[in-house]
């Protein structure tokens, strides 16, 4: 199963080539990931459905999410558009203290034909904020995330 996180662009995401900048893409993925996995007081506004949002990783919380690795394939340039891009998100691997979040970034919902802009994966390590050492994925987290386990991405250019 995949989550769909509609993620709004900003005009300032464009660079001098007039397309969403390649570095800025990682901020879009970050935002989609936070919407999907972080707990929120604003449950009514939760873009991706409450079920996976079990991770309290805001500053001050007990867990820090460390980004260990990212891999991104840019398949088509992204123009500025008002409609949020449609980020599909799933888990390609769940380890003891880490998980691989996979993404496919598509044109906004309803746009025809649908365009796949970007494929990416982020390896996240859960770190205890006090000890600053990796901590195991808990049972609640594992149960919440397991329905979203899927195949890892087969990158074309690797």
Residue numbers at the binding site for a second copy (CB under 8 A): 8, 10-12, 14-18, 21-27, 30-31, 34-35, 40-42, 45-46, 58-59, 64, 66-74, 77, 80-83, 108, 123, 155, 157-158
State which residue, 84 or 150, has the beta carbon closest to a second copy: 84
Smallest distance from a second copy to CB 149, Å = 19
State which residue, 14 or 149, has the beta carbon closest to a second copy: 14
Smallest distance from a second copy to CB 73, Å = 5
**First-to-last CA distance in the chain?**
25
**b/e code 48-80 from CB counts within 10 Å (16+ = b):** beeebbbbebeeeeebbbeeeeeebebeeebee
State which residue, 148 or 153, has the beta carbon closest to a second copy: 153
Smallest distance from a second copy to CB 37, Å = 12
Dist CA 149 CA 103 (whole Å): 12
Smallest distance from a second copy to CB 148, Å = 20
108 secondary structure, DSSP code: P
Cα-trace Rg, the chain = 16
State which residue, 41 or 139, has the beta carbon closest to a second copy: 41
Smallest distance from a second copy to CB 27, Å = 4
The DSSP annotation for 132-157 comes to -SB-PPPHHHHHHHGGGB-PPP--S-
State which residue, 18 or 139, has the beta carbon closest to a second copy: 18
Task: Tell me the sheet residues that pair with 89.
Answer: 3, 103
């Amino acid at each position: 199963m995949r989550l769909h996180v509609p993620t709004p662009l900003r005009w300032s995401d464009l660079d001098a080539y007039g397309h969403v900048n390649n570095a800025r893409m990682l901020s879009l993925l970050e935002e989609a990931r936070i919407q999907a996995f972080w707990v929120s007081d604003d449950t009514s506004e939760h873009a991706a459905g409450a079920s996976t949002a079990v991770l309290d990783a805001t500053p001050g919380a007990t867990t820090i999410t460390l980004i260990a690795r990212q891999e991104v394939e840019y398949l088509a340039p992204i123009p500025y558009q008002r409609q949020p891009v449609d980020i599909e998100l799933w888990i390609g691997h769940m380890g003891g203290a880490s998980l691989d979040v996979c993404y496919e970034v598509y044109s906004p919902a309803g746009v025809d034909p649908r365009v796949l802009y970007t494929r990416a994966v982020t390896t996240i390590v859960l770190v205890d904020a006090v000890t600053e050492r990796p901590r195991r994925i808990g049972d609640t987290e594992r149960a919440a995330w397991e329905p979203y386990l899927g195949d890892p991405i087969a990158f074309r250019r690797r």
